[in-house]
Amino acid sequence: MKQLKRIKGTQDALPEKTMQWQALEKHIRRNMALFNFREIRTPVFEMTEVFARGIGQFTDIVSKEMYTFQDRSKKSLTLKPEMTAPVMRAYMENSLYAQAPLQKLYYIAPLFRQENPQAGRLRQFHQYGAEFIGSPAPEADVETIVLALHIFEELGLTNVRLRINTVGDPESREPYKLLLQDYLKHNIPNPEPQVAERIANNPLRVLDSKDEKLREVIAGAPKLVDHLKEKAAEHYRSVKTQLESAGVSYSEDPTLVRGLDYYTHTVFEITSDALGAQNALCGGGRYDLLARQLGGRDFPAVGFAAGMERILMALESQGKSLARPAVPDVFLITMGEAARATMTSWLAKLRRAGLSADADFLGRSVKAQFREANRSGTRFSLILGEDELNQKFFAVKDMKNSTQENVPFDSLTNYLLQKKESLTV
């Protein structure tokens, strides 16, 4: 029979790896709490509309890159490819705006996109992120950026770089688009069909092209920053001033854009040189137009999403580990039938006392049991043979110092708990 395999673009997290995941998640939760963000969880799937409306029907994303399927009642459902739209949907559906004018929400979630895998890009991947809903103020943008950076700093990731830009408001952007289109049409003589289509439909997106020749043209293109109306200009100025006074170093990148038109004002990205071509650890921005696009009232909001696989990759390439392997406090070694018969009850007693305990489940030789104890990384082996059983004591072996001590049955757990405490101090 053929070996079953996981599906393309998915990963099994083995115990070595899940330790890192757990540590990362713990780290995220701790720092989110530090900024007073609270967790929200949404279903792994949604009505396709949630994403189709959020993202816009015209893009390839909706038609090609989402896991969309019909359930038995012929409803079109989609595995969530991102979290911003579901969070906004949940925010409106549960009337969170009625509880308080501001909501600081965060999430940690698996997401699904049917793209071709490459370094740092999977079909099931995980993001954490924050959505700060309710405030149009630049202070909220700064709070969000500072939070994103804080988490990276605390992780000990080095060589992370913050780039920022503004995509303005519709009053600034619409006239600018025409200006840009005009420039691109005149300066790209024979555009590839894809590029021509871009210029026509989503000219901003041309700005972040990787094509060398295009980049030369783009370098001379008019910049949105230079064509902002006063309100948008003021917002951007304020964000920059506050970042500076908060001591945040950033660089401005006029080619940093977002593909979707619900974004407004601030956009930002945090990249790492420890990654491959997909070098963004985190991306975010203000999206004041999303709520309306989803069919609700206007709710100003700003947020970010960060790729957890990429963070773990970057940490690994910098030789950093977030977690130490867990080892049992004790390993029980029995010799002979009589001793072995008491194994289960001793394990239960140890565990009730709060000691993590393991033993041999193969009936192996003493030597093999010690080898197993050694492999487990435990500090203490508890040896129970005929002599010990008859005289009611354990031979407790310190695996590190290779010393051994006889401990009566009735003082065993206290003895071990004391040892454990003295080691952790």
Partner RNA sequence: GUGGGUGUAGCUCAGUUGGUUAGAGCACCAGAUUGUGGCUCUGGGGGUCGUGGGUUCAAAUCCCAUCACUCACCCCA
Give contact residues for RNA (rule: CB under 7 A): 5, 7-9, 51, 55, 59-61, 65-66, 81-82, 84, 113, 115-121, 194, 198, 202, 205, 208-211, 258-260, 276-278, 283, 305, 335, 364-368, 370-375, 381, 383, 385-388, 395, 397, 399-400, 402, 404
Any residues with CB less than 8 A from the CB of 188 and at least 6 apart, and which? 195, 199, 214, 217
Q: Minimum Å distance from CB 367 to RNA?
A: 4
Q: Which is nearer to RNA, 44 or 246 (CB)?
A: 44
Per-position DSSP letters for 354-396, written without gaps between them: T--EEE-SS---HHHHHHHHHHHT-SEEEEE-HHHHHHTEEEE
Q: Minimum Å distance from CB 184 to RNA?
A: 13
Q: Which is nearer to RNA, 43 or 259 (CB)?
A: 259
E strand or H helix that includes residue 161: strand 160-166
Closest CA to 325 of 20, 10, 84, 7: 20
Residue 49, SS3 per DSSP: helix
Q: Which is nearer to RNA, 32 or 61 (CB)?
A: 61
Residue 188, SS3 per DSSP: coil
Q: Minimum Å distance from CB 203 to RNA?
A: 12
Q: Which is nearer to RNA, 245 or 390 (CB)?
A: 390
Q: Minimum Å distance from CB 294 to RNA?
A: 13
Q: What are the CA-CA distances from residue 44 to residues 53, 55, 75 (Å)?
A: 18, 17, 16
Give the residue carrying structure tokens 């943008």: 141
Q: Minimum Å distance from CB 36 to RNA?
A: 24
Distance CA 280, CA 97 (A): 32
Q: Which is nearer to RNA, 66 or 355 (CB)?
A: 66
Q: Which is nearer to RNA, 195 or 225 (CB)?
A: 195
Q: Minimum Å distance from CB 225 to RNA?
A: 19
Distance CA 241, CA 142 (A): 10
Distance CA 86, CA 81 (A): 10
Closest CA to 151 of 276, 278, 277, 314: 314
Q: Which is nearer to RNA, 33 or 119 (CB)?
A: 119
Q: Minimum Å distance from CB 211 to RNA?
A: 6
**DSSP code for 297:** -
Q: Which is nearer to RNA, 33 or 327 (CB)?
A: 327
User: Are the CB atoms for 314 and 272 separated by under 8 Å?
Assistant: yes
Q: Minimum Å distance from CB 386 to RNA?
A: 5
